[in-house]
A = this chain, B = another copy of it.
Amino acid sequence: MSANENARVAPLVGQHVQRGEDLRFATGQGRFVADHVSTTTLHAVFLRATQAAGQIRSIDTLAARDCPGVLAVLTGTDLAGTLAPIGALHEPNEAFVDAFSFQMADIAIPCLVTDRVHYVGEPVAVVVAESRAMAEDAAELIDVDYTPGTAVTTPQAALEPAAPRVHEHLPDNIAASLRGGFGDVPAASKGAAHRVTGRFRMGRHSGVPLECRGVVASWDPARGRVDVRTSTQVPHFVRTAICASTGWSVSEVHVSTPDVGGGFGPKANVYAEEVVIAYLARLLGREVAWLEDRAEHFVASAQGRDQHLDAELAVDSTGHIVSWSVEFLADVGAGSLWVAGITANTALHSVGAYRVPHFQVVGTAVYTNKTIVAQYRGAGRPEACFALERCLDMAAEAAGISRLEIRERNLLRAEELPKRLPLPYRDGVPITYDGADFRRCLRACEQRLPDDLLDTLRARYPGMYLGSGVATYVEATGRGPYESATVRLLADGTFEVGVGSACAGQSHETTFAQIAADALGVPMSAVRVRTGDTDAVADGIGSFASRSAVVGGSAVHRVCSQLRARARELVARCLGIEQDSEHEPTWSEVGRLLAPGGELAEQAPLSVTGTFEPPTVTWTMGAHLAVVGVAPETGIARVLHYVVAHEGGVEINPTVVLGQIRGGVAQGIGGILLEEFDYADDGQPATATFAEYLLPGSCDVPPVDVVHLPGPAQLNPIGVKGVGESGTIAVYAAVASAIEDALSCPAGTLTSTPVLPSTMLDIAESSVDASV
């Protein structure tokens, strides 16, 4: 366990280590869920609701059952006694509930609907056949007779007293509500020099992973359990949900993730399909696959954002914030298990990185007859950031100072940090921004901008309107309650590390191996990391909320450190030497002592399993600077240059951090300029293909310059903060500000996303001053 064996002194954490997974992905050896389908696998196809609201009068499955190759056709009624609806996985924390008068409606997601449908795309029946084509042909013959209902498609409409209820058993359409703050906003704002108000909307969009969802499940008669391979970020939650729904015990369900082609949040939800396919595999004693196609993904996978925010920012005559108040409606569609999280996230991130003496937030999550909303990268934070940053731009204009200056004046300074807010976080612990200096991120952004950038861009894009904008954000990262890890010394002197954080492309195999190798004192080649498998670690939480590196990484660090300590102690005891003596044994020696017949054979296998339970979240902060060009002829905006300066913890692997930030910026650009799931008034989705739902291509994403400023991260042993969502949160606000700058229109002109070319043409026509 020593450097003398491996001749390695420099730590691996902090190095630009090449990703171990790249070789297999680059050579086509990645194995995604669809790669686990064989000819003997049965295929399931879900028949989905074609109405957004209404009652199912009857479902005629006779013709479908008679189709060739069909083994089973099941409706919600068939399964009602067998599969319980999927309920909430966690109770909200009491202190948080008290502080925010937090209330949540009680819904559970049916595996297949029994009578009422809630959105177009909701699973109504499932067909299992020998081939996918057979299953699809049969599904087309299922005749569902609906009594049409009236769909509500906006939260405002849903809150009308006479609105039809999305969930009939509830008294209204309120999914969750909260109200909290500190100080006295009405009193304070009254006397403020400037009060700016805005009504903002962030459109509905989401992560659109390269790989759609998919589940392949098979019954293992020898082990008496169902093996469920699913493209998920939360395999342990999926297992919990399957057990709760079916009544099976945890040892009857094995959930693992093969390679996962992108998660971004939607795959951190637990879906009915995962439960139904697991159930069918056991029922039929056969391998059953369901592979979501893209058309399904547009209606059946969780979507994100879709918030309306009314905000008022009061500043004094010098632009210092006096009070800040925001009231938001989150359209959560038919609801999901993550409604509470999104609502809380918006509220808890509304204060931002600033000195805010008086603060108030009122939030309401509202059901509509649209596809469910769950978390999507940022998960409520971009909305909070957008409202605050847009208002800051407006207040700067009102106070007659620059957009940079108003942020400079209000950002928390080094001497004010760490900053404790009189609000509890979702875990009940008072919010404490454990940052170093929020102003330096903004300054780093400015400093990083090349002096001649605008000149260069003007020369390159003659006639284009150029502008720049900034925005800042805070983010709570590394949520608990815990993550699990395990490490075992193998017979050849290498180590297998298991961790509860599932990987959807975030480089866990590399970054966790770096942490483990450092803790064990071995080269990375001696460490293999297994993620996303309930066999690798019995308990786990999963990957979302920028938590993997912080909580999973710390768990890995912890078990590996403990393993090394235990090995030292065992060897010292065995050899009768002092632990701190000069002879530090090598792992090969440890292995020999542990081998059958060795003096420590009784202690084999050498393994440690444990958890890391963070006391609370650790906060990141950052500033984004966008330079945008708008083509006056077409109204098309392009982000031409982008700088992110963020205060993070130790970078486990700077290449991976860069990738996370850049990918986040790309998705933010999609959200502010291109992406929106649109619905007709009757709840029919109007965005069902990539022809209507536009994703940013590589030409839409500029070079992203990233400045990493180390901040304190004392809540975990490896000193890291999460960066998974940092790249996304502030993009919307920064780009909107830059467009307004480019178009020389009043601050606050842009209030809703996506900002489409038509909007820009309208603005340009009415207000533009072509000189930037």
Contact = CB atoms under 8 A, between A and B. Distances in A.
Interface residues of A, number: 46
Interface in A232-264: 249-251, 258-259
B490 A222 contact: no
Contacts of A250: 490-492
A528 interface: yes
Contact of A539 (B285, B491, B528): B491
Contact of A222 (B27, B251, B259, B607): B259
A494 B249 contact: yes
Interface string A283-317: 00100000000000000000000000000000000
Contacts of A484: 596
Nearest to A537: B605
A31 to B, nearest CB: 7
Contacts of A610: 602
B490 A596 contact: no
Contacts of A530: 223
Contact of A251 (B496, B509, B538): B496
Contacts of A21: 222
A274 B249 CA distance: 37
A611 interface: yes
A634 interface: no
A418 interface: no
Nearest to A286: B29
A605 B609 contact: yes
Given A222-B509, A223-B528, A601-B611, A538 B490 contact: yes
Given A539-B596, A604-B609, A609-B604, A29 B221 contact: yes
Nearest to A38: B38
A168 B604 CA distance: 44
Interface string A516-539: 000000000000101000000011
Contact of A538 (B222, B259, B605): B605
A320 to B, nearest CB: 44
A251 B528 contact: yes
Interface in A558-574: none
Interface in A581-617: 595-597, 601-602, 604-605, 607, 609-611
A609 to B, nearest CB: 6
A224 interface: yes
Nearest to A496: B251
A540 to B, nearest CB: 10
Contacts of A766: none
A100 to B, nearest CB: 24
A209 B596 CA distance: 32
Protomer copies = 2
B494 A251 contact: yes
A38 B481 CA distance: 41
Given A30-B221, A31-B222, A596 B482 contact: yes
A39 interface: yes
A257 to B, nearest CB: 10
Contacts of A460: none
A386 to B, nearest CB: 37
A24 interface: yes
A40 interface: yes
Contacts of A539: 491, 595-596, 604
A494 B602 CA distance: 24
Contacts of A496: 251
A530 to B, nearest CB: 7
Contact of A528 (B224, B285, B494): B224
A259 B221 CA distance: 10
Contact of A40 (B23, B38, B607): B38
Contacts of A30: 221
Nearest to A489: B538
A373 to B, nearest CB: 29
B611 A596 contact: yes
B538 A604 contact: yes
Contacts of A38: 38-40
Contacts of A509: 222
A539 to B, nearest CB: 5
A494 B250 CA distance: 9
A250 B27 CA distance: 25
Contacts of A23: 221
A86 to B, nearest CB: 19
A551 to B, nearest CB: 13
A323 to B, nearest CB: 40
Contacts of A221: 23-24, 29-31
Contacts of A607: 607
Nearest to A249: B492
A130 to B, nearest CB: 13
A610 B602 CA distance: 6
Nearest to A493: B249
Nearest to A253: B492
A103 to B, nearest CB: 26
Contacts of A259: 222
A38 B611 CA distance: 39
A465 B223 CA distance: 51
Nearest to A30: B221
A538 B285 contact: no
A30 to B, nearest CB: 7
Nearest to A492: B249
A223 B481 CA distance: 28
Contacts of A258: 222
Nearest to A531: B222
A251 B492 contact: yes
Contact of A491 (B222, B492, B538, B611): B538
A301 to B, nearest CB: 24
Interface in A159-182: none
Given A223-B530, A604-B609, A605-B609, A251 B490 contact: yes
Interface in A478-500: 481-482, 484, 490-492, 494, 496
26 contacts: A21-B222, A23-B221, A24-B222, A29-B221, A29-B285, A31-B222, A38-B38, A38-B40, A222-B258, A222-B259, A222-B509, A223-B528, A223-B530, A224-B528, A249-B492, A250-B490, A250-B492, A251-B491, A251-B494, A251-B496, A490-B538, A491-B538, A538-B604, A538-B605, A604-B609, A605-B609
Given A24-B222, A39-B39, A251-B496, 12 more contacts: A21-B222, A23-B221, A24-B221, A27-B285, A29-B219, A31-B220, A223-B530, A251-B491, A482-B596, A490-B538, A491-B538, A607-B607
9 nearest CB pairs, A to B? A38-B38, A249-B492, A24-B221, A39-B39, A29-B221, A251-B490, A250-B492, A250-B491, A251-B494
